[in-house]
Amino acid sequence: MNKIHRNSNPSHKISEVLESISRDRTRTNLLSKYEQRTIAFLVQRIPSLISSNMLTAVGFFGNIIVFLSFILATYVHKNFLLLGVLGFAISWFGDSLDGRVAYFRNKPRKWYGFTLDITIDWMSIILIGFGYIIYSDEVLELLGYGFVVMYGWEMIIALMRYKITGKYSIDSGKFGPTEARIVISMIMVAEVLFHGSIIYSVIVIDVVMFFVNIIDTRKLLHIADDMDIKETEQKLHKENN
């Protein structure tokens, strides 16, 4: 069993914990340094009776709260959008810790966790997008649909990158899920203060995500093309020998 987990000592060297929870991925997002240290602090303090699946459920529950915040803001009062900030915090907690706890405890289920995470992430983004569609005016409902499409495209890029390079990354350069949660939370707060501002914010997000996805797709196509060329050269070399 993992030495770190066996001792269950909260005072483990941070470097040991970081190494333990980062074995399957490299983070590139802007807040990665602080985020990873926070996760390393938290995984040591999660009670053993709480499993990774429970944490995944907690993360999904946070996204349900975000969805409900849009519903309540639509039919009760716009201030309920602030509930979405809490939802994103809960979502971050569960989503960030589920897999990391498994690695810290030396009980990773790589492919099970990968499949579950992708499924929950997609269900969550559909839920949040649907919440926005309900909240927005009829004419602007397509902006919510566009957000779901752009995020889905980003997920497809991540999966294709994993297939082609063998490296799975949840970040797009310096921007990752944590930064996305913070930005959307700020947009929801701004909407409470300045009603109608969410429309312009979502337009900006959709446009930015579109161009980021275009850039990432082009990069991935270049990598795929290079790999095809190398495989062809290797095949010809084997045939000539």
Q: What pLDDT sits at residue 6?
A: 42
**Which pair of structure tokens corresponds to residue 104?**
């810290």
Tens-digit pLDDT profile for residues 98-134:
988 988 888 888 889 889 989 999 999 999 999 999 9
- State the DSSP string of 19-87: HHHTTT----STTHHHHHHHHHHHHTTS-TTS-HHHHHHHHHHHHHHHHHHHHHHHHT-GGGGHHHHHH
C-alpha 27 chain-centroid distance = 11
Where are the domains positioned within the chain?
Answer: 3-240
Q: How far is the C-alpha of 137 from the C-alpha of 120, rounded, in Å?
A: 28
The DSSP bridge partners found for residue 172 are 175
Q: Which CATH class is domain 3-240?
A: mainly alpha
With beta carbons less than 8 A apart as the criterion, state whether 101 and 59 touch. Answer: no
Q: Which residues contact 127 (CB under 8 A, 6 or more apart)?
A: 63, 64, 66, 67
Between 64 and 14, name the one with better pLDDT.
64
Higher-pLDDT residue of 174, 51? 51
Give the pLDDT confidence score for residue 85 in this predicted structure: 97
159 contacts: CB under 8 Å, gap ≥ 6 = 118
Structure token pair of residue 117 = 């995470």
**32-83: per-residue pLDDT in tens?**
888 888 998 998 899 999 999 999 999 999 999 999 999 999 999 999 999 9
Mean pLDDT of the chain: 87
Greater confidence, 211 or 238? Answer: 211
